[in-house]
Structure 1
Amino acid sequence: MLLMTAEPVVTLKQVDVEFNEAGRQVHAVDHVDLTVERGDIYGIVGYSGAGKSTLVRTINLLQRPTSGAVTVLGQDMLSLGAKELRNQRKRIGMIFQHFNLMASRTIAQNVAFPLLGTGKSKAEIQAKVDELLDLVGLSDRANAYPAQLSGGQKQRVGIARALASDPEILISDEATSALDPKTTASILDLLKSLNEKLGLTIVLITHEMEAVKQICQHVAVMDAGRIIERGDLVTIFADPKEQLTKDFIETTLQLDSALAAVVKQPTVQNLRPDQRLVRLTYLGESTDDPLIAALYRDYQVEANILFGDIQILQGTPFGNLIVVLSGEEQQLDAAFDYLKREKVTITAIHPEEVGE
């Protein structure tokens, strides 16, 4: 039996991008390695200025790297001449935060624009446009103009247009940043659907970990031009290593605001010597176990739950509890050993440090 191996469709090796601004060198991307496999939805998250958009634009050479290697769909991008590069870019669709639609053309004409001059007949172009508008749920708006559409509808047109050349990779560069949360969720659902229906590989650039949480399979966190942490979504959420990653996740899960509220409670303000304030993080099967009941039944440790949350990440339950555990020191130590055996991560919370 042959084992299936993942096929990389994007490989960046030691990609470096430097700019000269006002007489000083700016290191926008600092020797980054990145591999995206076929069919993946890969999120790259970071704050403004982290270098994520610059990095991703090296994939289709909208930004040429200062040094390094860029291989896309088996092709060394930096070796291509102008005509070859134009052809290769057709295999890489791109959508943006600002929709870049032509105001004087109908929705159908906007979607058809990339197909003009390709040798396709008028009937073929019309059929393709109809197919794409149906795919993004806008068949009934073909003759409307961009000014008549909502922001979410405009982004759907942008997606349809990006798919006109049947790309194998779609780059989403902050494509949901200008949208409200409900519309953002609908666009992310559409991208996930396209990934599943078309086998489309998606690279999602965002400063919102919530968007990554909803649809990505893998994630890389960027800061100051470097990827500081990367991995599959569940591992990154369950066991983040870098403080920036922890900050992103805590904000997304609203743990930071929950903690701020929890530490103001009298129970926490007046902890006894036999009490511990902790965060319990658990994943997968351990969410099905009666952990809190077992603490009291087997170890005589009482648990006062102050905050609880369960998320589903790529089909895997992922939970967080903030609790006050009460018991004798020996009982608490035994209870902590039990939790660790159950693969529960225990993080001590020091109320005086919250919000610093």
Structure 2
Amino acid sequence: MEEPIIQLKDITVDFSNKEKKVRAVDHVSLNVNRGDIFGIVGYSGAGKSTLVRVINLLQRPSAGEVLVNGQDLLSLKEQELRASRKKIGMIFQHFNLMNARTIFNNVAFALKGSDLTKQQKSERVKELLELVGLSDKANNYPSQLSGGQKQRVGIARALANHPDILISDEATSALDPKTTQSILELLNRLNKQLGLTIVLITHQMEAVKQISHQVAVMDQGRIIEEGSVYQIFSEPKTALTKSFINTTTRLDETLAAFDVRNLKAGEKMLQLSYLGESADEPLISSLYQKFQVSANILYGNIEMLQGQPLGNLVVILSGQSEQITQAIDYLKQSKVHVREIEGIDEK
């Protein structure tokens, strides 16, 4: 099996001032495989941006190991580290463009220390602007561009030195939903077209859901859950992950509209997650035929994650207690993840 392109081993990052020491990253180990889009999601202050800045040593860890392309970055001298950093591009939330330079010159600035001739640099910049769909904006200035166009300039600049890795640090957070979608589609295309490994840092689970292959959820400096995007969305294990996912599906709003204290005797409210081929099965209609259990559907959707269907339902089951128990067992045997919604606190 091929060695991961990024290996973070037991990374700790501490910040100190006169009053106290703050641990921003707490013993985190993480592997990112070559060609993956790896999403790291968490709320502000979770430590995700600090963690990814360790990948190119913009933030040196207090402890741990950093290996990129099999190379121990912490052992490199400054000149060697600068060369390694060229293989790791970064894009940021606020674009970091130089307002006094044209779009062409903003991208060309990333090639300043390269061995290319002036003509080769010019050709490379034209190639990059075409790649991100901005060939007609070469002579414009950042102030003349929309937020999405500015981010495309940032992406072109980050790709100037043919990096193996692209780090996206909250790069869509300042953009409207439609523009965010276009930037995510561009990143997805670059991943496939260039074989680019992308590390996507975000607090937007929707962004992770759309393009990531693997996901890590961070909280208080630690990774609390990790897996494929399909695993994380179909069977989240922590309360924080469930909260993120429910927000993207608007399930929180549905649950808030129904008070489980109003359930009648013999009723149960369940959240059902349909996995893979189960999403295509008429399981709900089978419950009455097999067990005389009625299902009132409060919420439902099916979406595709990495080419596989994932369905979510919130239902109220009505019937005899024994039959409902048998119906739930039947659902579980049919590869449906079942969560009973028992109390008002679960909302």
TM-score (norm 2): 0.97
Q: What residue number does 1:285 align with?
A: 277
- Structure 2: which amino acid aligns with 1:284? G
Distance 2:91 2:178 in 1: 19
* Paired residues, number: 347
Distance 2:36 2:44 in 1: 24
| Aligned equivalent of 1:196, options 192, 196, 207 | 192
| Aligned equivalent of 1:313, options 305, 309, 319 | 305
**Does the CA-based 8 Å contact 2:24-2:47 persist in structure 1?**
yes
Q: What residue number does 2:87 align with?
A: 91
| Aligned equivalent of 1:67, options 63, 66, 71 | 63
- Structure 2: which amino acid aligns with 1:81? K
| Aligned equivalent of 2:26, options 30, 33, 39 | 30
**Does the CA-based 8 Å contact 1:172-1:202 persist in structure 2?**
yes
Secondary structure of 1:262's aligned partner: coil
Closer/same/farther in 2, CA of residues 244 and 354 from structure 1, 3 Å limit: closer
Q: How far apart are residue 271 of structure 1 and its match?
A: 2.5
**Does the CA-based 8 Å contact 2:3-2:70 persist in structure 1?**
no
- Give per-residue Cα distances to partners, 1:236-281, cap 9 Å, x unaligned: 1111111111111111111111111233xxxx66432122111111
| Aligned equivalent of 1:52, options 48, 51, 63 | 48
Distance 1:320 1:117 in 2: 52
TM-score (norm 1): 0.95
Distance 1:21 1:317 in 2: 49
Distance 2:52 2:274 in 1: 33
Q: 1:1-356 residue pairs with structure 2 within 5 A?
A: 5-263=1-259, 270-350=262-342, 352-355=344-347
- Structure 1: which amino acid aligns with 2:9? K
Gaps of 5+ in 2: none
Distance 1:336 1:246 in 2: 21
Secondary structure of 2:5's aligned partner: strand
Gaps of 5+ in 1: none
Distance 1:155 1:169 in 2: 17
Secondary structure of 2:99's aligned partner: coil
Distance 1:117 1:245 in 2: 43
Distance 1:98 1:219 in 2: 24
Distance 1:183 1:228 in 2: 30
Distance 1:22 1:204 in 2: 34
Secondary structure of 1:8's aligned partner: coil
Secondary structure of 2:59's aligned partner: coil
**Does the CA-based 8 Å contact 1:19-1:25 persist in structure 2?**
yes
Distance 2:300 2:214 in 1: 25
Q: How far apart are residue 349 of structure 1 and its match?
A: 1.4
Query: Any runs of at least 4 consecutive aligned residues in structure 1 with deviations exceeding 6 A, and if so which?
Result: none
